[in-house]
Structure 1
């Protein structure tokens, strides 16, 4: 059995007949310079900041992408990654293994052979509903990468604000970036800010997936380019959300700080709309070295089915023209002319409703794959308990830690197994999330459940992949999270079951 504090649980782990490795002064960490620096940063966070060694960190080609081997005995520690990403993952495991005892800090004698189940292991941070500055995004990268996530999806535009400087369309940030939900201050990233985020993510072996959400979720665009926007569709749902959460009804040309969705749309039949998207997508693609660009396509309730199909066909083609792989939320799967290879992101429930699974399958039929983000399992903005002051409950909420854990990616959509799944992503929408403390409280510990779904063997396939094992291991990580300054929700408080 894995130690009680190791998450995600590794592929295989065996005890070595040896005393633990003692961390002490005067010894050295050697090997890959970037890996040495990463491990030293972890050890520096320990009380008394011990030196450590002999610890050897190397890249040894030959294993599966992202895999590593970790060996510990009383005399030495070795971490060998099949590639730099695998070595980085091994360092995260090693950092979790460090234990405090009467004789100081030590690492148990073990051998671990480990590799990821899915290539894409993501977290999403919505910076549109509430803006989160560069330092906050970097802190979230620190937290996510420590659990072996390798993708940061940034939701950069929505009804409440546009968050990325576009040089060819300067009015987007000059006129459409100032507000957030509830009348809070807005903000945006300059292109240099965005490059800084991308570089910081790369140093943590994460890529950035930027999302420009169209044709819905575009009320902010109406502040900068009203000629591209339809009038808001004020449905019964919009009136209900305003009645429940307050705020004004949306009106073109006026900033929107409410929480309703589905009322906005770009003009589908205007060529100027596609000229706008071409400019935006080209700049975003040029700033982003990763392979993906997300164009949304969700909750376009103000756009008819035929118009939405026509739009997502053109939008996906415009993304593909930039050299990026298009990604869209599963609703875009209703279109029959998506660009070949477009990736679908499924945000429906663990038990699909309303034909959401059929739309997701369309991406696979078109040569793409699926990212699983079931809202009633790993939407980190759902309340974790009825008494939580933060979060929402629309996704069959509240979502307990146990429910966040007890699901399997390959069991959600019939006919969509591991071969068709690109990966798993845990979104954090920020209608109620204003700062890093709130991010921590909502993400931790449920983010660990998503990490294990993305990295480890299928749920219930091993003794470690059970709720009982996971809950014990999460509780065992709390001292480490405390040392790292993560303001998590304690396991018992966040999951009464």
Structure 2
């Protein structure tokens, strides 16, 4: 069992013994230039050392770190070998090399005598192809700098997807030239009357480019036919009046048609299904979104549409999933959309019920695989990062079976959530952060860390118990060893009492 501070746990870790590699100002980096730049920046942040190029005229016996894409192994895989006289990282592709560097960064240890890296042999590859985090920018707006800082944190833990929840009852956050009133009339709003905002198309491209530089794909979401009260403010003809029977007010204000909604209740809003104006609106927004988004996925929501009649909901899901497929993208929807009878072939379902599914949730989720699609697992009582970590937390909510401790966030197995799903049916794991109580990057850090590390291990590492160290006791030790790295990366993580931290 490895005691090295590695999260997520690599597929295979060997400790060959021998003296460590000494990291000092004489070390030079050779090989892939882009990866070398990543490692130099990480080393400078972690240690203050500014490592040079191997070609800079260093003495022949100068210590060397070699970074190479050799095309060997599965996608995103890497091999890391550390000896006293050198470090070598070889990878199947650029992403694998990036992840190998993140692992190397976790191994760097400081002491009174300097910086070292312990001897190690690591052969690593991800379990799932899709390893996502989600940031809700609709309930509270988060600017480009906050989004890019969040995705950098996620990428360091080998997440490769950033899902942006761009619209909800409170506001619409992405500029669309085909429907300019969406941001003009709603973007100033947020939960509690807090300041709003939106992304210009240039802002959105900056986020996408920054994500790509960290080997992350952006998955944008316009949520509909529910969660669309803001749409009705911008384009009243396409939105139904609030349906208040049976909606979840969450203790907040009652929504009024045409007026900004500042609460956190859900389930009251709906588009007008079947109207030509609604069909044109949906076609406009997803057609423009497809042109702005280079990644393969467009998420159309489909959750908590309690204000939409079941037959209308099914018709909407069928029509919208088909539209997105015609645009050359893979449709993604929350698991409720599995109630529709004719999902577009290949539509991906995102499951957000509990580790033990609520009634009907598993059946709806299996419908996506019956339609040739796959499933993203986001069980709310395990990986919803907006849940309070304990009863005393000032941020977060508790509706997902109460507070979610770090231990509970870790002790679940993706293959065991939905009966009847094979390993191949699972596209991956995503950890969402809804922002009803989240206003700043410090708030994001306070809720996501260290539980985001548990989600990273569920997404990347071998299944629970399938590898030495893939246990709660090992994880809490390993994540505790990341305290110095996270501190130097300026991550404002709370020192969870469930962990013995190295600080």
Partner of residue 57, structure 2: none
The answer to whether structure 1 residue 142 and structure 2 residue 152 are counterparts is yes
Aligned with 2:411 (options 392, 403, 406): 406
Residue in 2 aligned with 1:261? 266
SS at match of 2:408: helix
Distance 1:63 1:112 in 2: 13
What residue number does 2:430 align with?
425
Q: Is the 8 A contact 1:23 1:50 kept in 2?
A: no
Secondary structure in 1 matching 2:132 = strand
> What is the CA-CA distance between 1:26 and the residue it aligns to?
2.6
Q: How many pairs were matched up?
A: 490
1:67 touches 1:115 (CA, 8 Å); kept in 2?
yes
Q: Secondary structure, in 3 states, of the residue corresponding to 1:186?
A: coil
1:261-287 CA-to-partner distances (Å, cap 9, x unmatched) read 010000001011111111111111111
Q: List runs of 5+ in structure 1 lacking aligned partners.
A: none
Deviations 1:226-248 (A, max 9, x none): 01000001134444x2xx3x3x2
Aligned equivalents of 2:211, 2:2: Cα separation in 1: 29
Conserved in 2, the CA contact under 8 Å of 1:411 and 1:417?
Answer: no
Partner in structure 2 of residue 455 of structure 1: 460
CA distance in 2, matches of 1:355, 1:262: 18
Q: Which moved more, 1:54-63 or 1:193-202?
A: 54-63
Q: 2:190 pairs with 155, 161, 180, which one?
A: 180
Q: Normalising by structure 1, report the TM-score.
A: 0.97
Match of 1:48 in 2: 48
Equivalent residue for 1:25? 25
CA distance in 1, matches of 2:194, 2:268: 21
Q: What's the CA shift for 1:120?
A: 0.2
Please report the RMSD computed on the Cα atoms of aligned residues, expressed in angstroms.
1.2
User: Does residue 288 of structure 1 match 2:298?
Assistant: no
- What per-residue deviation string (whole Å, max 9, x for no partner) do you get for residues 339-378 of structure 1? 0000000000000111100000000000000000000000
Q: Is the 8 A contact 1:122 1:151 kept in 2?
A: yes
Bigger shift: residues 433-442 or 471-480: 471-480
CA contact (8 A) 1:5 1:473 kept: yes
Change in Cα spacing, 1:285 to 1:332, as seen in structure 2 (3 Å) is: same
3-state DSSP class of the match of 1:158? coil
Partners of 2:356 and 2:328 in 1: how far apart? 35
**In structure 1, what is the Cα distance between the partners aligned to 2:80 and 2:465?**
25
CA contact (8 A) 2:3 2:477 kept: no
Query: What is the TM-score of this pair, normalised by structure 2?
Result: 0.96
- Post-superposition shift, 1:50? 4.7
For residue 51 of structure 1, report the CA deviation from its aligned partner: 2.6
The structural deviation recorded for 1:460 is 2.2
Kept in 2, the 8 Å contact 1:72–1:111? The answer is: yes
Cα distance in 2 between the residues matched to 1:311 and 1:99: 54
SS in 2 for 1:285: helix
**Hey, what's the Cα distance between the residues in 2 that align with 1:447 and 1:417?**
25
- Cα shift at 1:494: 8.3
* Distance in 2 of aligned mates of 1:19 and 1:268: 68
Counterpart-to-counterpart distance in 2, 1:277 and 1:103: 62
Contact in 2 for aligned 1:384/1:494 (Cα 8 Å): no
After TM superposition, give the deviation of residue 176 of structure 1 in Å: 1.3
8 Å contact kept, 2:25–2:49 = no
Partner of 1:363: 368
Of 217, 230, 234, which residue of structure 2 is paired with 1:207?
A: 217
Deviates more, 1:124-133 or 1:56-65: 56-65
Select the residue among 227, 230, 239 that pairs with 2:240.
230
**Structure 2 alignment gaps of length 5 or more:** 53-62
1:104-183 to 2 correspondence within 5 Å?
104-183=114-193
- Matching of residue 216 in structure 1 with residue 187 in structure 2: no
> In structure 1, what is the Cα distance between the partners aligned to 2:361 and 2:27?
56
Structure 1 residue runs of 4+, over 2 Å off? 1-4, 46-53, 235-239, 460-463
Structure 1 partner of 2:101: 91
- Kindly indicate whether the alpha-carbon contact (under 8 Å) linking 1:293 and 1:324 is maintained by their aligned counterparts in 2: yes
Does the Cα contact within 8 Å between 1:475 and 1:491 map onto a contact in 2? no
* Structure 2 match to 1:10: 10
Deviations 1:49-73 (A, max 9, x none): 2537510111011210010000110
CA distance in 2, matches of 1:283, 1:26: 51
CA displacement, residues 426-474 of structure 1 (integer Å, 9 cap, x when unaligned): 0000000001000000000000000000000111223311110011111
- Cα deviation 1:89-137 (Å, max 9, x = unaligned): 1010000010112320011111100000000000000000000000000
Partner Cα distance (1:228, 1:251) in 2 = 16
